[in-house]
C-alpha cells in the first residue's frame, strides 16, 4: 500500500487529517485518545502520534480498520504501513506524518509511548459515552 503524500498535504491540512482520524476512533468507541505533537522535537520519527485503545482485540482491529476505510474514502489516502491486525494487541497505521497506534490496554501499559515521547505537546480527548 502506498500513499500520495503530495495529495495529502495539498488537499487536506494536517489538522483536518488528525480530526478525521480521531473521529474515526470515536466512531468505534475508542478510549483514552491522545494526540502527541512531535514537530518541535529534532529526533521525532513523524509529526504526530495519535494513540488510543480498545477494550478487546476485536475493538482494536475495528478501530484500525475504520481509520483505514475513512481515510481512504474521505481523503483518498492509504497508509504506508498497516500492521498488527493478526493479534490486534497493537495495530499501527502509518500515514508518514501521522502515525496511529491502536492498543489493547495491557499492550499500551507495557509500551508506554506517552512516557517515551513525554516532551511532545499532548492533547487528550474525552471518552465518549
Please, are residues 102 and 91 in contact by the beta-carbon 8 Å criterion? Answer: yes
Please, what is the end-to-end C-alpha distance for the chain in angstroms?
34
CATH code at 5-125: 3.30.460.10
Residue 84 has pLDDT above 60, yes or no: yes
Spans of all domains in the chain: 5-125
Query: Between 9 and 121, where is the model more confident?
Result: 121
Look up the pTM and report it: 0.90
pLDDT higher than 70, residue 87: yes
* Residue 102 CA: distances (Å) to CA of 48, 81, 90: 14, 13, 6
Whole-angstrom distance, CA of residue 80 vs CA of residue 15 = 19
- CB-based contacts of 78, cutoff 8 Å, min separation 6: 1, 2, 3, 68, 71, 72
Mean pLDDT within 61-68: 98
Answer with the residue of higher pLDDT: 2 or 51.
Answer: 51
3: which 3 cell numbers?
500513499
Confidence of residue 128 (pLDDT cuts 50, 70, 90): confident
Amino acid at each position: 500500500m502506498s500513499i500520495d503524500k503530495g495529495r495529502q498535504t495539498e488537499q487536506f491540512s494536517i489538522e483536518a487529517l488528525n480530526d478525521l482520524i480521531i473521529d474515526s476512533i470515536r466512531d468505534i468507541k475508542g478510549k483514552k485518545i491522545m494526540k502527541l505533537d512531535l514537530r518541535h522535537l529534532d529526533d521525532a520519527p513523524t509529526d504526530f502520534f495519535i494513540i488510543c485503545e480498545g477494550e478487546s482485540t476485536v475493538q482494536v482491529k475495528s478501530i484500525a480498520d475504520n481509520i483505514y476505510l475513512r481515510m481512504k474514502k474521505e481523503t483518498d489516502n492509504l497508509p504506508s504501513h498497516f500492521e498488527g491486525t493478526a493479534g490486534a494487541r497493537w495495530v499501527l497505521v502509518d500515514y508518514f506524518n501521522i502515525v496511529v497506534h491502536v492498543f489493547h490496554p495491557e499492550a499500551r501499559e507495557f509500551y508506554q509511548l506517552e512516557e517515551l515521547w513525554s516532551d511532545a505537546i499532548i492533547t487528550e480527548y474525552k471518552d465518549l459515552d
